[in-house]
Amino acid sequence: MPLNPVIDDWRDRVVWIVGASSGIGRATASRLHGLGAAIVVSARNAAALNEFVTAHPGSLAIALDVGDREAMAAALRQVLDWRGRLDLAMYCAGHYRAMRAGDSDLDDLLLHLQVNYVGALHLLDAALPALIAQGHGHISLVASVAGYRGLPHAMAYGPTKAALQHLAETLYLDLRPNGIGVSVINPGFVATPLTAGNRFDMPALLTPEQAAGYIVRGWARGRFEIHFPKRFTLWLKLMRLLPHGWYFAAVRRTTGA
Ligand SMILES: NC(=O)c1ccc[n+]([C@@H]2O[C@H](COP(=O)([O-])OP(=O)(O)OC[C@H]3O[C@@H](n4cnc5c(N)ncnc54)[C@H](OP(=O)(O)O)[C@@H]3O)[C@@H](O)[C@H]2O)c1
């Protein structure tokens, strides 16, 4: 039984992807455009957004910084003016830098919080009243398997992704009676600018296009949690069940931390 209304026909659906200038967001935007959706792409890099629109006619670019709540509210008004409705809003903006406790940088910790979590609140604040008034639509938050449990070198990134997962569960429970779908996307490793600086082996690494394929399939199946690739994420889900002593030992053994 699907947990969300199934989205398998994208023709004329209005989709707003925040964090769509590169990587997973851009690949998902491109795939949905190919399936007939009307796409709005947002991020800071206006040149990359305009290049997307040129390559995907009929799309709309709205450049913004997710930390700017007024800009997010104005963008939502622009989306609604464009086609009169919003069918899916995907929060895909993200910032990541490996950071170890004892070597922490408060400015960068707060930037992770701002981009990965507070920006999602700005999107919700702008979009939820419109979705509730419509009585349909879908909110999708891109978190990460890094939010499942504590990991070494993840003190900046991991907690923001755990917060998004928690937020998504709460939104699901609150918004289901309003006919609004909510999903959380937990990718494993994907080769994008975000992970380009990683100096360790990334198991089961995917291309952004593969990630987009999993995401679109997840929406078509009405999933609440869309996690991939399963050959990687199912191990992490199993580790989630371990008592702390076993979990810490297993993480130390596999990461050498
Ligand atoms: N790659 C992975 O292995 C992986 C795994 C799990 C989860 N994720 C998550 O997937 C999402 C997409 O990441 P990605 O891997 O595709 O990396 P990416 O290509 O670097 O994409 C990040 C996106 O966020 C946007 N962004 C960053 N700061 C922003 C700001 N202040 N305002 C507006 N937009 C901002 C970037 O655009 P501008 O720079 O143009 O603003 C870009 O479009 C992120 O939430 C990430 O945490 C990635």
- Position 255 scores a pLDDT of 87
Q: Concatenate the DSSP letters of all residues of 131-177 into one string.
A: HHHHT-EEEEEE--GGGSS--TTBTTTHHHHHHHHHHHHHHHHHHGG
> Which residue has 């690494």 as its token pair?
205
Looking at the CA of residue 49, tell me the nearest atom of ligand 1: 40
Query: What is the structure's pLDDT at 199?
Result: 86
Distance 28 CA to ligand 1 centre (A): 12
Q: What is the model's pLDDT at position 143?
A: 98
Reported as a single tens digit per residue, the pLDDT across 136-182 is 999 999 999 999 999 999 999 999 999 999 999 999 999 999 999 99
Locate 50 and state its tokens.
């305009």
* Ligand 1, CB within 6 Å, residue ranges: 19-25, 43-45, 48, 65-67, 92-96, 115, 142, 144, 187, 189-190, 192-195
What pLDDT score does 2 carry? Answer: 96
Q: What is the pLDDT of residue 257?
A: 78
Residue nearest atom 44 in ligand 1 by C-alpha distance: 94
- Taking the C-alpha atoms of residue 218 and residue 151, their distance in angstroms, rounded to an integer, is 26
CA 65 vs CA 69, 170, 181: distances in Å: 9, 25, 25
Task: Name 41's bridge partners.
Answer: 17, 61
- Phi first, then psi: give them for residue 244, nearest 5 degrees: -55, -45
Separation of 219 CA from ligand 1 center, angstroms?
Answer: 20
Ligand 1 centroid – CA 18 distance (Å): 9
Is 157 labeled as catalytic in the residue annotation? yes
Mutate to test the pocket of ligand 1, among 24, 51, 144, 145 (most ligand atoms within 8 A of CB): 24
- How far apart are the CA of 181 and the centre of ligand 1, in A? 22
d(CA 173, CA 114): 25
CA of 77 to the centre of ligand 1 (A): 23
49 contacts 61 by C-beta, under 8 angstroms: yes
Contact 21, 51 (CB under 8 A): no
pLDDT string in tens for the chain (257-residue length): 899 999 999 999 999 999 999 999 999 999 999 999 999 999 999 999 999 999 999 999 999 999 999 999 999 999 999 999 999 999 999 999 999 999 999 999 999 999 999 999 999 999 999 999 999 999 999 999 999 999 999 999 999 999 999 999 999 999 999 999 999 999 999 999 999 999 888 999 999 999 999 999 999 999 999 999 999 999 999 999 999 999 999 999 988 87
pLDDT at 1: 87
Q: Whose CA is nearest to atom 8 of ligand 1?
A: 144
Q: What does the DSSP 8-state code read for residue 116?
A: I
Catalytic, out of 157, 172, 214, 247: 157
Q: Which atom of ligand 1 is nearest to the CA of 191?
A: 1
Nearest-CA residue for atom 2 of ligand 1: 190
